[in-house]
């Protein structure tokens, strides 16, 4: 990485067409070599340095200007000042000052955090990116300060978690999105094999320990699901392993046990010897452990396959149950709508009946009002036909057989001569003699159109 970044540096030559000598694999520029016994001076950062060489100037060689851009050591989308760019520095002098400690890393960019424990002689410092931290670690590890070599390592990430039981559809972005609810996430990675296939494991690094502790507790007590399948993730504290530096010889403590074990060089055990016998027993124990682990893995695999089959069956049953519930809900909705429709029809029918009754009532009121108006408009003394007919019937009933004579066609015939008329009138009187002036007949039109003569006595 550092070599690729160094290839992006621009070299400018003033007096010579030949390019100057390339610097080291870091943003650091050329430094004057010092004796091994003398302490290394604190390095200083300079974005553009022009090293001067008196001999080169006298010989006519031009000066070289090296310009490096710190932003070229930052990956696209990479977060800055994370726990991954935090370095541990050990074997520091007890009298080192914080400003001097920062100046050691000044040429590697901005520094955000610097801590020194002078009693135990170690410190921590955080750089801008992981790449710059790697360059600083490579260059400063083993360098001498006051004739004492220092140790530079990456600090342990105290807010990192290991995530297992991930499905193949889980990506880095989904993993970061899921764990962001517990706090700011610096990095979320799904671990893959050499072919890029997911291994079902991942790493989540938080910005602080509080968020990591919260995520660990919540996921342990509950079940965090990342996809549609109810397969919860298993969260555990991350195991920190140093697979970059390992254990060099210079860092191993030289104890008596060390010298005793290192008396003989590496070798193969010869058959029939004491070493070969116990070596075979060790190998047999390892083989038994391997077989048991394989058996456990097979059992776990079979249990997972069985659980997946049960999960698929349960998912189908659950979907059927949801469909039944939805169907019942729809049927209940239809029944309710039908009831509402019937209620609406009944209400409309009642309204129509009330309207019909109101219409009839209005018609009767109008008829009564019209009859009343007709009666009011008739002249005084006028009697309706039905009243006249009733009065005539009452009069005929009072007179009896001598009080009314049918004056139909016979009346018209008797009118031809006075003798005939007189005879008829005598016959009606019932006394064999003429009526004369004792009674006078009043012709009245009956209901059937016949003339009726009403007779009255004159006193």
pLDDT at 377: 80
Give the residue with greater pLDDT, 208 vs 23: 208
- Cα distances (Å, whole numbers) of residue 384 to 349, 374, 387, 388, 442: 43, 11, 5, 7, 20
**Average pLDDT over the chain, rounded to an integer:** 75
Residue 25 has pLDDT above 50, yes or no: no
Contact present, 139 and 131 (Cβ < 8 Å): no
The more confident residue out of 443 and 333 is 333
Percent of the chain with pLDDT over 70: 66
Mean pLDDT of 181-189: 93
Edge-to-edge strand list for the sheet holding 151-154: 113-117, 122-126, 86-90, 151-154
329-386 pLDDT, tens digit each: 999 999 999 999 999 999 999 999 999 999 999 999 999 888 888 888 876 655 555 5
Digit-coded pLDDT (tens) for 71-89: 566 777 778 888 889 999 9
Is the model's pLDDT at 409 over the cut of 80?
no
Which range has the worst mean pLDDT, 71-75, 78-82, 175-179, 278-282?
71-75
Residue range 196-229, pLDDT digits in tens: 999 999 999 999 999 999 999 999 999 999 998 8
Question: Which helix H or strand E contains 163, and what residues bound it?
Answer: strand 160-164
pLDDT value, residue 372 = 86
Q: How far is CA 54 from CA 58, 59, 63, 76, in A?
A: 6, 9, 10, 42
3-state secondary structure of 191: strand
What pLDDT is recorded for position 122? 92
Handedness of CA 245, 246, 250, 252 (dihedral sign): positive
Res. 41 pLDDT band, cuts 50 70 90: very low
- Answer yes or no: is pLDDT of 424 > 60: no
Residue 376 buriedness (CB in 10 A; 0-12 / 13-18 / 19+): exposed
Question: What are the structure tokens assigned to 327, written together?
Answer: 């169907």
């Amino acid at each position: 990485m550092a070599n690729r970044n160094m290839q992006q540096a621009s070299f400018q030559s003033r007096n010579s067409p030949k390019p100057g000598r390339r610097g080291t694999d870091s943003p650091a520029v050329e430094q004057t070599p010092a004796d091994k016994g003398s302490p290394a001076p604190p390095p200083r950062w300079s974005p553009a340095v022009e090293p001067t060489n008196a001999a080169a100037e006298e010989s006519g060689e031009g000066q070289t200007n090296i310009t490096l851009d710190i932003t070229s050591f930052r990956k696209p989308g990479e977060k800055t000042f994370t726990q991954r760019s935090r370095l541990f520095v050990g074997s520091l002098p007890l009298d080192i000052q914080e400003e001097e400690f920062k100046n050691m890393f000044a040429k590697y960019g901005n520094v955000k955090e610097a801590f020194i424990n002078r009693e135990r002689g170690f410190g921590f410092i955080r750089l801008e990116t992981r790449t710059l931290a790697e360059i600083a670690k490579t260059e400063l590890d083993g360098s001498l300060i006051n004739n004492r070599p220092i140790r530079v390592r990456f600090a342990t990430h105290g807010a990192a978690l290991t995530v297992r039981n991930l499905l193949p559809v889980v990506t880095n972005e989904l993993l970061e999105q899921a764990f962001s609810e517990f706090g700011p996430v610096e990095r979320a990675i799904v671990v893959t094999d050499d072919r890029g296939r997911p291994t079902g494991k991942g790493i989540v690094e938080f910005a602080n320990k509080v968020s990591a502790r919260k995520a660990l507790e919540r996921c342990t007590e509950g079940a965090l699901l990342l996809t549609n399948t109810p397969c919860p993730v298993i969260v555990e504290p991350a195991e920190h392993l140093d697979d970059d530096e390992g254990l060099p010889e210079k860092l191993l403590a030289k104890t008596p046990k060390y010298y005793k074990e290192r008396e003989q060089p590496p070798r193969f055990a010869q058959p029939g010897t004491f070493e070969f016998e116990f070596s075979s027993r060790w190998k047999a124990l390892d083989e038994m452990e391997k077989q048991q682990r394989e058996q456990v893995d097979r059992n776990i695999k079979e249990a997972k396959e069985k659980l997946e089959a049960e999960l698929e069956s349960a998912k189908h049953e659950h979907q059927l149950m949801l469909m039944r519930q939805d169907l019942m809900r729809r049927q209940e909705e239809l029944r309710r709508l039908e009831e509402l429709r019937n209620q609406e029809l009944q209400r409309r029918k009642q309204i129509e009946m009330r309207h019909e009754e109101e219409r009839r009532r209005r018609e009767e009121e109008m008829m009564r009002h019209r009859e009343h108006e007709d009666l009011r408009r008739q002249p005084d003394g006028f009697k309706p036909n039905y009243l006249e007919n009733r009065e005539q019937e009452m009069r005929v009933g009072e007179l009896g057989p001598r009080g009314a004579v049918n004056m139909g066609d016979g009346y018209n015939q008797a009118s031809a001569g006075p003798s005939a008329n007189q005879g008829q009138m005598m016959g009606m009187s019932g006394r064999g003699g003429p009526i004369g002036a004792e009674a006078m007949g009043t012709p009245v039109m009956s209901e059937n159109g016949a003339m009726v003569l009403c007779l009255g006595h004159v006193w």
